[in-house]
Amino acid sequence: DAGVTQSPTHLIKTRGQQVTLRCSPISGHKSVSWYQQVLGQGPQFIFQYYEKEERGRGNFPDRFSARQFPNYSSELNVNALLLGDSALYLCASSLDQPLAKNIQYFGAGTRLSVL
Amino acid sequence: GESVGLHLPTLSVQEGDNSIINCAYSNSASDYFIWYKQESGKGPQFIIDIRSNMDKRQGQRVTVLLNKTVKHLSLQIAATQPGDSAVYFCAENIGYGGATNKLIFGTGTLLAVQP
């Protein structure tokens, strides 16, 4: 079975532009989470979506938004890009069954460079 | 605030030796912890997890120990191999079993295996 897939793998943008990143979860997984990983640091939680609804949001500005589609795939949008948005953006999916540990499985990420 | 940190940012070991990677967490209410391995250019890969009602869990060549009294986790890798070279993260699962499934990562430990 395919794991979590993300596209594109690399992206270069300039300040002020907008970007859309895409994620397809593991088949059967209904929950998708997004993380930002700055070089040399651990991933930071941005969003979690389940059944098309936002379940959690990290400490990120409103320039960051996301959505989940009926097929459970997801998009992360970032508007008005800043240099500091340069990072690896990771998508993770999980089964998200109630009262169960829900291991999050990660994709390879999208490397965003803002110039 | 919430944080998960690592004691040693870099660990260098000889091939065949055992490795121990340590991690401290700050949220005493956390009840589920995960270790991830991240190789260069890849997303974090699940290694092993442990619930707070356990103090030890073993996998293939890996063991996780949890000391809730001092809020400390460790990952032990037996007979370390060159393929184990990577950055290792411990993560605290906030909202385990609840509506939001959010991981709080530390900054990571680089494990370098010398042949």
Mean pLDDT by 10 residues, chain B (115 residues): 54 96 87 93 94 94 95 96 96 71 87 94
- ∠ Cα B107 B33 B77 (to 5°): 75
Domains of chain B: which residue ranges? 4-114
pLDDT in the model for residue A102? 77
CA distances to A19, A77, B74 from B91, in Å: 28, 25, 12
Shortest distance, CA A106 to any CA of chain B (angstroms): 6
Contact B43 A107 (CB under 8 A): yes
The tens digit of pLDDT for each residue in A56-106 reads 899 999 999 999 999 999 999 999 999 999 999 999 999 876 656 678 999
Top CATH class, B4-114: mainly beta
Question: Are B102 and A43 within 8 A, CB to CB?
Answer: no
Rg (chain A; Cα; Å): 13
C-alpha span between B84 and A21 (Å, rounded): 30
The beta-carbon neighbor of A90 closest among B43, B91, B97 is B43
pLDDT of residue A98: 62
Work out the mean pLDDT of chain A and round it to a whole number: 93
Best probe of the B interface among A101, A102, A103, by most B CBs < 10 A, is A101
pLDDT in tens, B23-55: 998 888 888 899 999 998 899 999 999 998 999
The domains of chain A are located at: 5-97
DSSP string, B64-86: EEEETTTTEEEEEESS--GGG-E
Q: How many CB atoms lie within 10 A of CB A61?
A: 10
Q: Which CATH superfamily is domain A5-97 in?
A: Immunoglobulins (2.60.40.10)
Do the Cβ atoms of B108 and A56 come within 8 Å? no
Nearest Cβ partner of B46 from A35, A43, A105?
Answer: A105
What pLDDT is stored for residue B62 in this prediction? 98
